[in-house]
Chain A
Amino acid sequence: MKNIVILFVSILAVTTLTILSCNKKVTGVTDNLPALNPQNADLNAGSWKTILLSRPDTFAVPAPVSVIAAEYIAELNEIKGYQKNLTGDQADKINYWAAGGVLRWNEIMRGLVAKYNLPPYQNADGTYPIPSSSNPFAYPLFPFANPPYAARAYAYISAAQYDALVACWFYKTMYNRPQPSKVDPSVQLKVNPTNLPSYPSEAAVLAGVSAEMMKLLFPDEIANIQSKLEEQENSTIMSGAATRSDITAGEALGRSIAEVFIARGKADNAGKAVGTPTDWANLVTTCEARGETPWISLESPSRPPMLPLFGNVIPFLFSQATVATLRPAAPPSTSSDLMKQETAEVYGYIKNPTAENIRIVQYWADGVGTYTPPGHWDAIASLDFIQKNYSEVRWARNMALLNMSLMDAGIVCWNTKYYYYNPRPTQLNTAIKTLTGIPNFPSYISGHSTFSGAAATILGYIIPEKASTYTAMANEASMSRLVGGIHYRIDCSTGLTVGNNVGAYAILRAKSDGADQ
């Protein structure tokens, strides 16, 4: 007995010490990245194919003053003044932004999506309020950044950043202004050296275009975003990478180019995606007219379907008419034996879920309060892009390809969901419980699968050596919805295929945009 007592006391002591010593502050995986150090500055990027801009010089950038002008000398003195009294916090901010502006703005976006990805709480009468962009500060806050909204937001920001950086590179090589530290060696360079000209500043272009886009996408966050913009611009000056005039010209260019994307966004049908009660009722009658059991909301009180007209949003990678051609054939009839088998298979998985299946479901859930499946793929891509040390413009190009794929996958997926209006497994068998929250829209095809199929396809083109890894991840993401009780197998397998087909359009674009030639 004495030995047991000693053993217990020892366990007690060791465990206590372990817990006390292990309890350290959590750090994010990208908190302490080294400064971006591109292998290739992509000096020819000014000739890469833009997405919405017809020409890289659609918006004029005035010629910079000479590096021997008094105004420029004063700007160098501003940098030196900062560098003389740099605080620890300022140094941290320099390091934070030096890891890459496209990366950091994508992370900021993911944070905003997670913050705004909350379904509105019901009214006292059991109806639901709808967030309004004309009154964004009232509850429910605008937007409800659900997966389609998020996919579109990521795509617009990424595409606008890409066009803006192509224009930026165009002017950089046109004006060829050297970096401040090359003009005046007493300016310290606190980021990695580059042969990229400094005018206009790519950091400020990113700040300007991103901040301007956010006005449309996250109107409650304008003040917050403005402070991020200033932080990035000031950090860039303090780092010695750019002068005040590099920044000013860059921000103006970025904001101008954003306007082109904002104009598109206001007319891309997303504003009408919520639909009207008449639209919602039509979905049911159309489905019933085909002799099928229509989807019903499994939320209580019953919630109107999520963005039923999102399938009409204008895609980036193909025409709107192409959407219907990418829509897959109908699922088995809700009354068919095949559908009964599909439902039974889901129940088989969910009856006694394995620990591994629970883990997979949680890993890929990306539900309420998260950055959504498109954000998850951005996170996956970011970690791999960091390893590649891309230039900012190539980062932007690759993120744009990925996020346009994700948005267009969302469009085709939503178009399909509301075309067939197929019920969830739980609707056909209420014994099917789910390992994560059940989304409030029809089943066929799986959004996770479509997003993941598209993402894996374009990422496999961008980083060929990881293509099979991406495919495996997409398969796992897709299957997580089956074993989690959220989807039938046919939703998942068809979703992956549709996603792959969407991703193929992104590859077509990538092969001809000038970046890989």
Chain B
Amino acid sequence: MKNIRILHTYAVLFLCTFFFFNTLSAQTDQDAIMMAKNNFCTGLTYDHSSWKDYWEGTFKRNNANLGTVSTNSFSVMGNYGISENLNLLVGLPYMETKASAGTLHGMTGLQDLSLWLKWMPIEKKLGKGVIALYTIGGVSIPASNYTADFLPMSIGLGSKTASGRVLVDYQLGHFFVTGGYTYTWRSDITISRTAYYTTELILSNKVDMPDMDALTLRSGYRSGRLIAEAVIINMKTLGGFDIRKNDMPFPSNTMNATTIAANFKYNIAKVDGLSIIGGANTVIAGRNIGQSAGFDTGVFYILDFSPKSKKK
């Protein structure tokens, strides 16, 4: 497990799974891989996703007043190896949204800054392979005063979040499988208006944001040079309410999604520490979200801050 693993993407699953976002492929804070001690990996990624169909509750429809809603995001991230089994991750996306039809104005801006601490307390041989346990804690905070209450054009939901995640990874030769569970607490948000309707009229500018959780399963090929994986993510909002027929979406809707994705990461042999990533994903089932499909790509570079230069 000492293969240096590159960070790709921002703190995806919970920070960006909005009405219009795909649940992303995403690795790093989600994957069962650690950066080596004193190594700092930094990179840029580009994500594009779009949807035409969406679910109002369980009712699937499209909307000629939106056409296709697309999201582009450009993210910077970093992953630092505090030790061989403790990593610190940071990510910040800039986003823009756009609807191809209708009159709604697109939104742009910095979304949520995320920080993750990833710890691998257990790594041992099991049979012919290696089993490892990871525990990951993360927080996210809006990095600008974007408006959450303009869905589906908003770039984010405005909540501060704290997440706890457990991953169990098993690697046998070049084959691996990783299962994970994440729970995300979300803070209330404050919106511009002073009343809103959920299943009743609430006379407040504060919105109670239900917590979320997610199950992920990823599997594929993993070597020092190449990682190729298939992923399935099932994200659930633990509460909230459905969008009514022909109503606008709202930040505290019950946003659920099942997403499948395929990703790769390739380390360029000629330049030590340089790698590229890519992936594609699509929502296969959902509730109160867009049925988005998208792709992502990025480039990463590892800087070695080890006191005694390179040892490997």
Pair from one complex: yes
- Closest-by-CB residue of A relative to B56 is A121
The 9 nearest A-B residue pairs measured at CB? A111-B201, A300-B64, A362-B192, A433-B105, A28-B203, A114-B197, A16-B162, A15-B139, A121-B246
Q: Is the CB of B246 within 8 A of A20?
A: no
Residues on the A chain within 8 Å of B185, using CB: 16, 19-20, 23
Chain A nearest CB, measured from B134 CB (Å): 16
CA–CA, A369 and B200, complex, Å = 11
Does A258 lie at the interface of the complex (its beta carbon under 8 Å from any beta carbon of B)? no
Q: Contacts A11-B115, A350-B105, A369-B244 given: A16-B201 contact, CB under 8 Å? A: no
Q: Is the CB of B105 within 8 A of A118?
A: no
Does A133 lie at the interface of the complex (its beta carbon under 8 Å from any beta carbon of B)? no
CA–CA, A219 and B160, complex, Å = 42
Q: Is the CB of A355 within 8 A of B245?
A: no
Residues of A within 8 A of B (CB): 1, 5, 8-9, 11-12, 15-16, 18-20, 22-31, 107, 110-111, 114-115, 118-121, 139, 298-301, 350, 353, 355, 358-360, 362-363, 365-371, 376, 379, 426, 432-438, 485
Q: Is the CB of B105 within 8 A of A114?
A: no
List 12 interface pairs A-B (beta carbons < 8 Å), by A numbering: A12-B139, A16-B162, A121-B61, A299-B65, A300-B65, A301-B64, A358-B192, A369-B247, A370-B193, A370-B196, A433-B105, A434-B104
Stretch binding the partner chain, chosen from B12-20, B142-150, B263-271, B282-290: B142-150
Q: Is the interface of B mostly helix, strand, loop or mixed?
A: loop
- Per-residue CB proximity of B250-270 to A under 8 Å, as 1/0? 000000000000000000000
Residues on the B chain within 8 Å of A376, using CB: 195
Q: 8 Å CB contacts to A: which residues of B165-206? A: 185-188, 191-197, 200-204, 206
Residues on the A chain within 8 Å of B82, using CB: 5
4 further contact pairs, Cβ within 8 A, besides A16-B137, A379-B194, A435-B150: A12-B137, A114-B201, A369-B197, A434-B103
Q: Is the CB of A18 within 8 A of B197?
A: no
CA–CA, A365 and B150, complex, Å = 11
Q: Contact check: which of B141, B149, B200 meets A362 at CB < 8 Å? A: B149
Q: Contacts A23-B185, A26-B188, A355-B145 given: A300-B115 contact, CB under 8 Å? A: no
Residues on the A chain within 8 Å of B245, using CB: 118, 121, 139
Q: 8 Å CB contacts to A: which residues of B205-255? A: 206-209, 244-248
Q: Is the CB of A433 within 8 A of B197?
A: no
CA–CA, A19 and B102, complex, Å = 37
CA–CA, A145 and B161, complex, Å = 36
Residues on the B chain within 8 Å of A434, using CB: 103-105
Does B106 lie at the interface of the complex (its beta carbon under 8 Å from any beta carbon of A)? yes
Q: Is the CB of B117 within 8 A of A9?
A: yes
Q: Contact check: which of A29, A301, A368 meets B204 at CB < 8 Å? A: A29
Q: Is the CB of A111 within 8 A of B200?
A: yes
CA–CA, A12 and B119, complex, Å = 14
CA–CA, A359 and B141, complex, Å = 20
Q: How many A-B residue pairs have CB under 8 A?
A: 155
Does B101 lie at the interface of the complex (its beta carbon under 8 Å from any beta carbon of A)? yes
Residues on the B chain within 8 Å of A12, using CB: 115, 117, 137-139
Q: Is the interface of A mostly helix, strand, loop or mixed?
A: loop
Q: Is the CB of A370 within 8 A of B192?
A: no
Residues on the A chain within 8 Å of B203, using CB: 28-31, 107, 379
CA–CA, A67 and B107, complex, Å = 68
Residues on the B chain within 8 Å of A118, using CB: 244-247
Q: Is the CB of B102 within 8 A of A300?
A: yes
Q: Is the CB of B105 within 8 A of A353?
A: yes
Of the candidates B117, B147, B193, B305, the one having the most CB atoms from chain A within 10 angstroms of its own CB is B193
CA–CA, A436 and B160, complex, Å = 25
- Closest-by-CB residue of B relative to A435 is B105
Q: Is the CB of A362 within 8 A of B193?
A: yes
Q: Is the CB of B244 within 8 A of A11?
A: no
Q: 8 Å CB contacts to A: which residues of B121-167? A: 137-139, 141, 145, 147, 149-150, 160-162
CA–CA, A28 and B106, complex, Å = 31
Does B33 lie at the interface of the complex (its beta carbon under 8 Å from any beta carbon of A)? no
Does B88 lie at the interface of the complex (its beta carbon under 8 Å from any beta carbon of A)? yes
Residues on the B chain within 8 Å of A120, using CB: 246
CA–CA, A360 and B147, complex, Å = 11
Q: Is the CB of A19 within 8 A of B187?
A: yes
Q: Is the CB of A110 within 8 A of B103?
A: no
Of the candidates B80, B203, B204, B206, the one having the most CB atoms from chain A within 10 angstroms of its own CB is B203
CA–CA, A120 and B88, complex, Å = 50
Q: Contact check: which of B117, B145, B202, B248 meets A368 at CB < 8 Å? A: B248
Chain B nearest CB, measured from A111 CB (Å): 4
CA–CA, A251 and B203, complex, Å = 28
Q: Is the CB of A115 within 8 A of B197?
A: yes
Residues on the B chain within 8 Å of A111, using CB: 197, 200-201
- Closest-by-CB residue of A relative to B197 is A114
Of the candidates A20, A353, A360, A435, the one having the most CB atoms from chain B within 10 angstroms of its own CB is A435
Residues on the A chain within 8 Å of B88, using CB: 5, 8-9
CA–CA, A376 and B101, complex, Å = 30
Residues on the B chain within 8 Å of A367, using CB: 248
Q: Contacts A111-B197, A118-B246 given: A19-B64 contact, CB under 8 Å? A: no
Q: Is the CB of B103 within 8 A of A433?
A: yes
Q: Contact check: which of A11, A301, A433 meets B104 at CB < 8 Å? A: A433
- Closest-by-CB residue of B relative to A139 is B245
Q: Is the CB of A19 within 8 A of B197?
A: no
Q: Is the CB of A362 within 8 A of B150?
A: yes
CA–CA, A19 and B115, complex, Å = 14
Chain A nearest CB, measured from B161 CB (Å): 7
Q: Is the CB of B192 within 8 A of A363?
A: yes
Of the candidates A11, A22, A114, A379, the one having the most CB atoms from chain B within 10 angstroms of its own CB is A114
CA–CA, A29 and B194, complex, Å = 9
Chain B nearest CB, measured from A32 CB (Å): 12
Residues on the B chain within 8 Å of A438, using CB: 103
Q: Contact check: which of A5, A139, A350, A368 meets B247 at CB < 8 Å? A: A368
Residues on the A chain within 8 Å of B80, using CB: 1, 5
Residues on the A chain within 8 Å of B105, using CB: 350, 353, 433-435, 485
CA–CA, A300 and B63, complex, Å = 8
Q: Is the CB of B194 within 8 A of A28?
A: no
CA–CA, A28 and B138, complex, Å = 31
